[in-house]
Amino acid sequence: MMRRGGGGGGGGDSFDSDAASSSSSPTITITITTQDHAADHDQGSSQYHTDTSSTTSPVPHNTTTTNPAANPPRHCRDVFWLLIFILHLLVFGSGLALLGANRFKKADRLNIDRFTNLTLSAAGLAPPPPPPPATEDPSRHTETFWPFYGVAAGIGLVVAWSWLALLGRHAELMMRVSVHGLTTYLAVVSVFCFWSHHFFWGVTFAVGAALQFVYLLSVFDRFPFTMLVLQKSVKMVWSLPEVVWVVYAFTIVMLCWLVLWSFGVAGTVALSIDVNGRWWLLVVFSVSLFWTGAVLCNTVHVIVSGMVFLVLLHGGRRASTMPSKPLLKTLRHALTTNFGSICYGSLFTAAIRTLRWMIRGVRSRIGNNECLLCCIDFFFHLVETLVRFFNKYAYVLIAVHGKSFNRSARDAWELFQSTGIEALVAYDCSGTVLLMSVILGGLIAGTGTGIWVWFKCSEKVIMVSTTAMLVGMILVCGALAKFMST
């Protein structure tokens, strides 16, 4: 029994975000049980069966254990953040609908511009707008820009589902395309930005291409191991066709939210206020889109983790002890008792993960500069402390045991440190490679939309193509959520 748990810990990391739920969870349960009850080996093994049965299998309470406290029902966790997320959806959804309708077929039909102009002028961000022209400008209407975002969503959806289908057949090829294609694409886009006299964006994409190239050089020796991890993860997840339909369903849900989001953003782009004010509004709406997209992606991650754990725990999808409807069971937990923890973790894990990658990339390139290395090490240890409370493996324990996010993150991190597989986790770059796929998909959607905007409304090509790139990234991220290291 203990041999299985130890092997599961290493295999769980090799399977990245999804298979970690199955292989590492037995070890996690043993570790927590022995720490909480201080039992011997045999007693810990029997407690392992009791705990996993109580959290993952539909065995009645009276047949599992005589102690009712050993089989507690799941309760909603992190309810505060669940309420914040729902309130955020209501507030931003209403704001997007108002801004989109304000300039739909008629300029300032809801007379919103007077409030925005007063606010921005009082803050010193924008001067009072000029009087409206005698003839109405079509570029001031929502419907002028809404088709552009529709094209971006269409391109993102095609790229997302194509990537998902090709990963099941040519995983290694698609990963190589993501790694090498992103660097080339960033460099090409920077050249076009310089050619069109958008120097800021040209420098931005050029720096991005340079950082991407430096990062590839620093972790190039890890890619063979990463490819093996991704191939194993893809093989395992594709053996469960139910989760593929879950990904498709959540992509449709994300697309529905993007319809409202693009309607409101199109109205924002058409506002008559100063360009700085429009950029600030777009930044706020983009943060909202990232949080919503992260919540949906992590919900898929929790569903897949719970499904894979059930399959491996019971020895296969057709085992006699397997619940009759395992997908519905994991889906119900993810959308009810675990949803608050998902909303909470989605606020921080992506930002901390990105910061950690950046610091590691800089740290690996520093030579003998002791002063700079000391500063980087300080920030590195600070971020590592944050990772202890906000790491991707927390979603696995959320799916299996229904714990709160912070408790799950701490338990997962303590498990890695106690079993010695923390170095293996750090060596794996599969999450970074999949993130490259997401960025590349967003760039394709943004470029395709930007080319059309260039011929229709060239002065707003950067504003529209940038937000269109976000639409493509969110859709591709939703399709690859079951493979992502979140």
Q: Is residue 36 part of a domain?
A: no
Mean pLDDT in residue range 81-103: 92
Confidence of residue 364 (pLDDT cuts 50, 70, 90): low
State the Cα–Cα distance between residues 457 and 190, nearest whole angstrom.
20
pTM over cut 0.85: no
Strand ranges for 268-424 from DSSP E: none
From CA 302, how far away is CA 330, in angstroms rounded?
A: 8
Tell me the CA distances in angstroms from 192 to 354, 382, 463, one per residue in order.
Answer: 27, 39, 16
What's residue 265's pLDDT? 92
Show the tokens assigned to 84.
């914040």
**What backbone torsions phi and psi does residue 398 show, to the nearest 5 degrees?**
-60, -45
Question: Is the distance from CB of 298 to CB of 346 less than 8 angstroms?
Answer: yes
Residues 6+ apart with CB under 8 A from 367: none
Residue 315 in domain: yes
Q: Which range among 66-75, 216-225, 432-441, 445-454 has the greatest average pLDDT?
A: 445-454
Per-residue pLDDT, 118: 56
Residue 54 has pLDDT above 70, yes or no: no
Lowest-pLDDT range of 125-129, 388-392, 434-438: 125-129
Q: How confident is the model at residue 445 (pLDDT cuts 50, 70, 90)?
A: very high
143: its two tokens: 């419907």
Residue 378 inside a domain? The answer is no
Between residues 145 and 55, the one the model is more confident about? 145
Cβ 473 vs Cβ 442: under 8 Å: yes
Which segment, 21-30, 100-109, 229-238, 391-400, is predicted with the most confidence on average? 391-400
| pLDDT at residue 56 greater than cutoff 50 | no
pLDDT at position 428 is 74
Percent of the chain that is helix, strand, coil (3-state, to 5):
80, 0, 20
- Looking at per-residue pLDDT, the higher value among 471 and 167 belongs to 471
Least confident interval from 85-89, 139-143, 423-427: 423-427
Distance (Å, whole) CA 439 – CA 434? 9
Would you state the pLDDT for residue 360? 67
Residue 471 lies in a domain: yes
pLDDT grade for 257, boundaries at 50, 70 and 90: very high
> Are residues 302 and 250 in contact, defined by beta-carbon separation less than 8 angstroms?
no
Tell me if 413 is assigned to some domain. yes
Region 50-62: mean pLDDT is 36
Q: What's the pLDDT tens digit per position in 243-253?
A: 878 888 888 88
* Of the candidates 183, 254, 231, the residue with the CA atom closest to the CA atom of residue 481: 254
Would 50 be classed as within a structural domain?
A: no
User: Could you give the C-alpha distances from 281 to 197, 296, 467, in angstroms and in order?
Assistant: 24, 23, 12
pLDDT of 60 reads 37
> Does 285 reside within a domain?
yes
Distance CA 269, CA 145 (A): 8
Mean pLDDT of 132-149: 72
Residue 321 and residue 310 in contact, taking contact as beta carbons nearer than 8 Å: no
What's the confidence (pLDDT) of residue 313?
81
Rama region for 78: left / alpha / beta (φ>0; ψ in -120 to 50; rest): left
Segment 216-223 shows an average pLDDT of 80
Report whether 370 contacts 330 (CB < 8 A).
no
The DSSP call for residue 69 is G
Q: What is the largest CA-CA distance in the chain?
A: 86
pLDDT digits (tens, 9 = 90+) for 175-192: 788 888 888 999 998 998
| Whole-number Å distance between alpha carbons of 11 and 4 | 10
Average pLDDT score, the chain: 74
The pLDDT of residue 58 is above 80: no
b (16+ CB within 10 A) / e for 155-166: bbbebbbebbee
Answer for the pair 476, 484: CB distance below 8 angstroms, yes or no. no
Rounded-to-integer distance, Cα 132 and Cα 109, Å: 13
> Which carries the bigger pLDDT value, residue 14 or residue 296?
296
Locate tokens 């690996």: which residue?
364
The predicted model gives 479-484 an average pLDDT of 71
CB 157 within 8 A of CB 255: yes
pLDDT at 157 over 80: yes
**With 80 as the cut, is the pLDDT of residue 272 above it?**
no
In single-letter form, the type of residue at position 300 comes to: V
Task: Give me the pLDDT at residue 80, please.
Answer: 92
406 or 64, which is more confident: 406
Contact 323, 310 (CB under 8 A): yes
Q: Mean pLDDT over residues 217-224, rounded?
A: 80
Count of structural domains, the chain = 1
Cα separations in angstroms, 164 against 250, 255, 299, 471, 484: 14, 16, 18, 17, 12
pLDDT digits over 301-353, tens only?
888 888 888 888 887 777 777 778 888 888 888 898 999 999 998 887 767 76
Tokens coding 473: 């990234």
- Position 196 scores a pLDDT of 81
- Give the domain range for residue 465: 79-107+139-348+390-479
Cβ contacts of 182-185, under 8 Å, gap ≥ 24 = 182/212, 182/436, 182/439, 182/440, 182/443, 183/209, 183/212, 183/213, 183/216, 185/440, 185/443, 185/444
Question: What's the rounded mean pLDDT across residues 1-8?
Answer: 37
Over residues 117-135, mean pLDDT: 51
Q: For residue 101, is it within any domain?
A: yes
The rounded percent of the chain whose pLDDT value lies above 90 is 12
Per-residue pLDDT, 57: 36
